[in-house]
Structure 1
């Protein structure tokens, strides 16, 4: 897939951060879906496993500077998982859950990154994207990254409104997710 993604970017002489997306079937055949010519919310997973700062590189390119590394310099290491924490109620078809954040304490530890701009007392309205934070964990293996995510979700305090934290915990504990046996219909199949 990496070689196919590089070929797509080279064909259109693309110079910037971007994402090439594929779907993989049960026979491990992959199919091109789309190219996003921007950073996506999941870029933090790439940053964790490659040790790169994609935002800084995108700014360098916008300023006319060349990339500070080449594809051959990128050596992915380990595995990373991202959980997006939303002000929504999974028990009510993921309806937005506006309200005031009454308590907030983010976890800390090795292999853990938190991206957020919320604070206690902040009023979350229904008028904007309800994402409150991204929790990203990294480990030498997928199992270690999942273990760190379980711990991070357990240590996270976020009160005053409904969130999807409990759903993320259930996903981390689900045998099919742990074994990597998931597809685009995972939530429907596992939690209906």
Structure 2
């Protein structure tokens, strides 16, 4: 049986184009319709892995895999592809601009029409946990600029639309974007992650 973390790297890497626990390739999931992304609940853990346990099918990141993702240009570009697709699902576009030595990230609404945000702009919704996961996973994988831009975009739209999302959820997004990486989802310390803080 393939180790879950090797399977994750093979799934993500464009040279191997492996499959996830359900036999799906990355390109296959990225080509799903928005309805498929909404209705399926076992892919987000693979697209945005975490160092904490999620469920039996979700790979749990370790130090070696985080270092590998952070150091491999192709893997980082794949993460950006995944992020672009998921942001479109939530009503946003993302662009990267080279500003001198720095890479600037801009997340913008696909439309000013509130309907484009209907999958998450609610008081409570399962997509709120997905958004929290995306923010934390991006930071863990070394895409902190993307994580910050994503966080700002969701908060900005929520504010401009009248603070629809619960305060608890907005605070949770803030913690996922600002807490030390070594603070786990339940507040517990993850000592080996301190070197990435």
The answer to which structure, 1 or 2, has the higher relative contact order (CA under 8 A, 6+ apart) is 1
Normalized per residue, the structure richer in strand is 1
TM over 0.5: same fold? no
Normalized per residue, the structure richer in helix is 2
State the TM-score, normalized to the length of structure 2: 0.33
State the TM-score, normalized to the length of structure 1: 0.34
